[in-house]
């Protein structure tokens, strides 16, 4: 479940963050409707029941501990609960992700639906899962080793029990994978980290110890025996692509009196060809189990051909579409404001005063929904020097521009730091969003405003819907977004594969 009981907290920071999210969701929507959340002092029996349903307490005896845990936020929280109970019609399902009982009902409903099933290894914040679920798949198990990614995934995927989103090293999962995955799985997806590409003198680069996690991914496939496998990775993995093919072709699984093998192919695909507002190349492998290939008369090659055919129906989308219909912001000029909400510099959770479907790109990204909130739209701190650089540069200009030669901090090292500063083109797909944005965003300067792009703008470029909330510290939101597979890309690949499952 999303909440632990207050007397059994294992991650206090996570517990408090979700309480603060609840408070903001209540307060923001109240303010949007010109209402004020009044402070309450007494906790009613109805409030006890609501907090119990949320999974925070068992009964009123735990209120003193809750007050001690939340400190100054206790009064805001119980006031938010009281206001929600009096105004349920205003919120409808907007707080359901923070309610254990409602999540449990949703999970039961999901389990009764006859949907294609999937497992997501190295799931990160859930880009692949988000795209596949939008295409009609149901996730049965997901894992990642990064705590904040698991927290984000759990929050945004209420249809999946939190116990099925595991924070663990895959090396500790594979040997007892049946404890987590006990039913037939249609597809296993994931992007195992592979780093040993530089050792070109080795006959089997993929056997580099740095690529150990990839090997465990292969072992997981052998244990699960899915109908399909989708593996994604960076362009650099092309150097070992044929070795990966060898590994998949060597898989032989004896199960229920049958021997299962896999056919596999790969393509270097660019997200902009899927209608994503970003040029981002990913190496995609698709494997098909032999019995499925024979029954459906398909090969990985024919699936890729269908994917490429679908891509031709998608229009290239420029960065400008992702940056429309969202609040203009100013960059904070004082350090330490990244975790501080501010009307001018942005907020982690704010009311959405714009059209969620204001253009075709946003309409597709947000699924045609009008969303009352916008998440993670907070500008990043900008120093005086960087502010002046941002102001002077024109779209498409970088560190070598003569306009900033007199103030460029890395002028003597432009050969190395040419892309240290780059002002994005508005009328082209965005350059690749990367996890490096957590270090600095100088390579992704907003084309119109004197600042770098916000996490929400980066998430839009990655085609995440505006109500996909990234948890954790501000800089880690960039990391989660940068490591993700673009949602629309995942969805359109999933739609093709789904035809051969249902």
Same domain, 459 and 358: yes
Pairing of strands 258-260, 253-255: antiparallel
Same domain, 67 and 142: no
Task: Give the per-residue pLDDT at 173.
Answer: 94
Q: Are 149 and 217 in contact (CB under 8 A)?
A: no
Nearest-angstrom CA–CA distance, 211 and 194: 5
Task: Give the per-residue pLDDT at 201.
Answer: 39
Task: Give the per-residue pLDDT at 168.
Answer: 93
Residue 294 has pLDDT above 80, yes or no: yes
- Percentage of the chain beyond pLDDT 90 is 86
- The helix or strand, by DSSP H or E, that contains position 223, with its residue range, turns out to be helix 212-224
Same domain, 191 and 235: yes
Same domain, 412 and 472: yes
Q: Which two tokens stand for residue 2?
A: 């999303």
Q: Which domain holds residue 460?
A: 319-483
317 is catalytic: no
The stretch 19-23 carries a mean pLDDT of 98
CA atoms within 13 A on the CB side of 305: 5
Same domain, 299 and 395: no
Please list the alpha-helical segments (H only) found in 312-359: 319-323
Residue in 494, 500, 501, 502 with CA at minimum distance from that of residue 230: 494
Domain-located, residue 1 = no
Q: Are 331 and 382 in contact (CB under 8 A)?
A: yes
For 246, list phi and psi in degrees, rounded to 5. -60, -45
Give the total number of structural domains in the chain: 3
Q: Are 152 and 472 in contact (CB under 8 A)?
A: yes
Same domain, 348 and 464: yes
User: Strand, coil or helix: what is 118?
Assistant: strand
**How far apart, in Å, are the Cα atoms of 73 and each of 36, 43, 61, 493?**
17, 15, 19, 44
Same domain, 120 and 261: yes
- The per-residue pLDDT for range 280-290, each reduced to its tens digit, is 999 999 999 99
- The helix or strand, by DSSP H or E, that contains position 255, with its residue range, turns out to be strand 253-255
Same domain, 226 and 115: yes
Residue 373 has pLDDT above 90, yes or no: yes
Domain-located, residue 245 = yes
- The per-residue pLDDT for range 36-94, each reduced to its tens digit, is 999 998 999 999 999 999 999 999 999 999 999 999 999 999 999 999 999 999 999 99
Name the band, by pLDDT with cuts 50, 70 and 90, for residue 261. Answer: very high
Task: Give the per-residue pLDDT at 379.
Answer: 97
Domain-located, residue 121 = yes
Residue with the two structure tokens 């992702």: 322
Q: Are 350 and 309 in contact (CB under 8 A)?
A: no
For 16, list phi and psi in degrees, rounded to 5. -70, -40
Domain-located, residue 238 = yes
The CATH number of residue 375's host domain is 3.90.120.10
Same domain, 150 and 234: yes
- What's the residue count for the chain? 502
Per annotation, catalytic residue among 194, 225, 357, 382: 194
Question: C-alpha dihedral over 105, 111, 113, 119, to 10 degrees?
Answer: 130
- The per-residue pLDDT for range 376-410, each reduced to its tens digit, is 999 999 999 999 999 999 999 999 999 999 998 87
What is the CA angle 91-97-101, rounded to 5?
Answer: 100
The CATH number of residue 250's host domain is 3.40.50.150
Same domain, 387 and 409: yes
Residue 198 has pLDDT above 50, yes or no: no
Same domain, 123 and 268: yes
Name the band, by pLDDT with cuts 50, 70 and 90, for residue 237. Answer: confident
Task: Give the per-residue pLDDT at 153.
Answer: 98
Task: Give the per-residue pLDDT at 398.
Answer: 92
End residue of a domain, out of 44, 71, 94: 94
Residues 6+ apart with CB under 8 A from 39: 75, 79
Residue 411 has pLDDT above 80, yes or no: no
Task: Give the per-residue pLDDT at 195.
Answer: 61
Task: Give the per-residue pLDDT at 212.
Answer: 83
The rounded Cα 119 to chain-centroid distance in angstroms is 16
Residue 199 has pLDDT above 50, yes or no: no
pTM for this model (two decimals): 0.94
The rounded Cα 45 to chain-centroid distance in angstroms is 38
Task: Give the per-residue pLDDT at 415.
Answer: 54
């Amino acid at each position: 479940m999303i909440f632990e009981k207050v007397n059994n907290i294992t991650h206090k920071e996570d517990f408090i963050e979700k309480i603060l999210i609840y408070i903001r969701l209540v307060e923001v929507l109240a303010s949007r409707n010109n209402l004020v959340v009044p402070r309450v002092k007494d906790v009613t029996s109805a409030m006890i029941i609501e907090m119990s349903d949320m999974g925070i307490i068992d009964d009123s005896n735990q209120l003193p501990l809750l007050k001690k845990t939340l400190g100054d936020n206790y009064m805001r929280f119980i006031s938010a609960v009281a206001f929600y109970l009096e105004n349920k019609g205003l919120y409808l399902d907007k707080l359901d992700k923070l309610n254990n009982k409602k999540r449990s009902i949703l999970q039961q409903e999901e389990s009764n639906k006859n949907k294609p099933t999937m497992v997501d290894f190295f799931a990160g914040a859930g880009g692949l899962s988000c795209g596949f679920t939008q295409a009609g798949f149901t996730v049965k198990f997901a894992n990642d080793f990064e705590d904040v990614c698991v927290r984000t995934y759990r929050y945004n995927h209420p249809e999946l029990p939190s116990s099925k989103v595991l924070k663990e090293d895959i090396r500790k999962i594979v040997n007892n994978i049946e404890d987590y995955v006990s039913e037939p799985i249609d597809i296993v997806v994931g992007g195992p980290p592979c780093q040993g590409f530089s050792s070109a003198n080795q006959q089997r680069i993929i056997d580099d110890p740095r690529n150990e996690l990839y090997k465990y991914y292969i072992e997981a496939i052998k244990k699960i025996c899915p109908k399909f496998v989708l593996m994604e990775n960076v362009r650099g993995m092309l150097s070992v692509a044929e070795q990966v093919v060898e590994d998949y072709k060597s898989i032989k699984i004896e199960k229920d009196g049958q021997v299962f093998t896999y056919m596999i192919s790969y393509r270097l695909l660019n997200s902009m060809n899927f209608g994503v507002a970003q040029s981002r190349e990913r190496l995609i492998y698709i494997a098909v189990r032999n019995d499925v290939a024979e029954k459906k008369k398909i090969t990985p090659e024919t699936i890729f051909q269908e994917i490429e055919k679908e891509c031709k129906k998608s229009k290239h989308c420029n960065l400008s579409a992702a940056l429309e219909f969202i609040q203009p912001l100013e960059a904070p000029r004082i350090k330490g404001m990244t975790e501080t909400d501010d009307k001018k510099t942005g907020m982690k959770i704010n009311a959405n005063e714009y059209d969620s479907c204001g253009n075709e790109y946003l309409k597709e990204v947000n699924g045609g929904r009008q969303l009352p909130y916008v998440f993670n739209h907070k500008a990043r701190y900008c120093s005086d020097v960087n502010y002046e650089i941002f102001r002077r540069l024109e779209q498409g200009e970088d560190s070598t521009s003569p306009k900033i030669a007199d103030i460029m901090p890395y002028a003597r090292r432009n050969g190395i730091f040419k892309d240290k500063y780059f002002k994005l083109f508005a009328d082209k797909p965005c350059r690749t969003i990367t996890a490096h944005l957590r270090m600095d965003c100088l390579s992704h300067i907003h084309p119109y405003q004197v600042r770098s792009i916000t996490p929400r703008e980066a998430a839009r470029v990655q085609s995440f819907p505006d109500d996909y909330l990234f948890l954790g510290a501000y800089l880690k939101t960039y990391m989660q977004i940068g490591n993700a597979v673009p949602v629309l890309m995942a969805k359109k690949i999933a739609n093709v594969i789904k035809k051969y499952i249902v």
